[in-house]
């Protein structure tokens, strides 16, 4: 559980991440942008699609599966959504060309390709991307966003997932509504990625980090295993993973452990060496400001590491080697 000071820092970082004017100012200050990039590079494979593909290829050779995503969300215009779609279609093709279709999943947030404009646009674009990835033999994973978006996300997802079994979705254990959402989603074949939940939510909608949340996470995971449903355990909590192992959740053939690139590489490597199916989430792109703030908010002491990374950029040049 975070200390009061860490919780305050986390809330501040999440607020900073959502400050559009600050983000715009940062992007217009090349010296500041380049100074912060080494800190972001600890968690981001690079600024280009090829950076992510090269990292995925290296990791696949070591037996890791991967989830690739071009960072972005809350895209506000139809043209920007179409630009994002062009990138995801190019990513789909790049995964196939690199012979990674069997190990790499294409991941995205629905607000990146249209949900912030209209549900109709989001549905149209998700269907198009689902058709393209299915033709190439590439699985998809839809991210989950703030709670006010969830009804729209689930509506669009269910319409597409009924036709495309290669698509999965993320659920956040900290939301009080999640058990009901899981009961509904178990009727669909798509994988479920289970996370604790990273977004700042009102107290009436979500529980705080702590023992209660851990028990909720375990209960949801257990329900998925009992249903013999494909499950991605997306967590860096070593004690939680140990409890999952004790309860037989990890031994299920339908369970996979996923972690974020640059976070607890030692634990994921150890998990893979123990024979567990493992996966790394590999983000890339120019929109890394928000992503970096979220990573620091999850564990505020990482701010010290980020400062060190900025002063000594060589520290983050080859993060992928930590997994080899």
C-alpha 195/C-alpha 176 separation (Å) is 14
Give, in degrees to the nearest 5, the angle at Cα 30 between 28 and 36: 110
Q: Give Dmax (Cα) for the chain.
A: 53
- φ and ψ of 116, to 5 deg: -75, -10
Helices and strands (DSSP H and E) totals, the chain: 13, 8
Give, in degrees to the nearest 5, the angle at Cα 151 between 204 and 292: 75
Instruction: Judge whether 164 is annotated as a binding position.
Output: no
Question: Nearest to residue 45, comparing CAs of 16, 67, 22, 18?
Answer: 67
Beta bridge partners of residue 193, listed in sequence order: 170, 232
Residues whose CB is less than 8 angstroms from the CB of residue 151 and which lie 6 or more positions away in sequence, other chains included? none
Token reading at 273: 């060496």
Token pair 């380049």 in the structure block, residue: 34
Instruction: Judge whether 191 is annotated as a binding position.
Output: no
User: Do 150 and 185 form a contact (C-beta atoms < 8 A)?
Assistant: no
DSSP class of residue 175?
B
User: Do 43 and 83 form a contact (C-beta atoms < 8 A)?
Assistant: no
C-alpha 215/C-alpha 240 separation (Å) is 9
Instruction: Judge whether 184 is annotated as a binding position.
Output: no
User: Do 184 and 192 form a contact (C-beta atoms < 8 A)?
Assistant: no
Instruction: Judge whether 1 is annotated as a binding position.
Output: no
Instruction: Judge whether 197 is annotated as a binding position.
Output: yes
C-alpha 140/C-alpha 151 separation (Å) is 20
Instruction: Judge whether 130 is annotated as a binding position.
Output: no
Give the burial class of 24: count Cβ atoms within 10 A of its Cβ; 0-12 exposed, 13-18 middle, 19 or more buried.
exposed
Instruction: Judge whether 46 is annotated as a binding position.
Output: no
Residues placed in the known binding site for FAD: 144, 172, 196-198, 235-236
Residues placed in the known binding site: 144, 172, 196-198, 235-236
């Amino acid at each position: 559980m975070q200390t009061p000071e860490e919780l305050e820092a986390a809330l501040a970082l999440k607020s900073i991440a959502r400050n559009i004017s600050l983000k715009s100012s940062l992007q217009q200050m090349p010296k500041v942008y380049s100074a912060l990039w080494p800190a972001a590079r600890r968690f981001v494979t690079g600024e280009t699609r090829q950076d992510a593909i090269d990292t995925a290829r290296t990791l696949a050779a070591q037996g890791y599966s991967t989830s690739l995503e071009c960072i972005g969300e809350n895209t506000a215009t139809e043209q920007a959504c179409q630009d994002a779609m062009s990138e995801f279609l190019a990513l789909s093709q790049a995964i196939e060309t690199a012979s990674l279709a069997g190990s790499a999943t294409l991941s995205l947030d629905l607000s990146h390709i249209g949900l912030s404009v209209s549900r109709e646009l989001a549905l149209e674009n998700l269907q198009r991307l689902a058709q393209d990835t299915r033709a190439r033999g590439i699985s998809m994973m839809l991210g989950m966003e703030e709670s006010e978006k969830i009804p729209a996300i689930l509506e669009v997802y269910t319409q597409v997932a009924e036709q495309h079994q290669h698509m999965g979705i993320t659920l956040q254990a900290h939301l009080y509504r999640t058990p009901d959402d899981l009961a509904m989603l178990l009727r669909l074949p798509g994988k479920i990625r289970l996370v604790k939940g990273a977004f700042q939510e009102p107290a009436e909608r979500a529980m705080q980090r702590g023992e209660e949340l851990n028990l909720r996470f375990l209960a949801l995971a257990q329900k998925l295993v009992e249903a013999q449903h494909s499950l991605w355990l997306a967590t860096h909590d070593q004690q939680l993973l140990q409890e999952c192992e004790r309860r037989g959740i990890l031994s299920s053939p339908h369970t996979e452990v996923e972690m974020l690139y640059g976070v607890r590489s030692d634990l994921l490597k150890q998990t893979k060496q123990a024979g567990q199916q493992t996966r790394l989430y590999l983000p890339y792109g120019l929109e890394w400001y928000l992503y970096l703030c979220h990573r620091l908010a999850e564990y505020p002491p990482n701010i010290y590491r980020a400062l060190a990374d900025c002063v000594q950029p060589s520290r983050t040049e080859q993060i992928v080697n930590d997994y080899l």
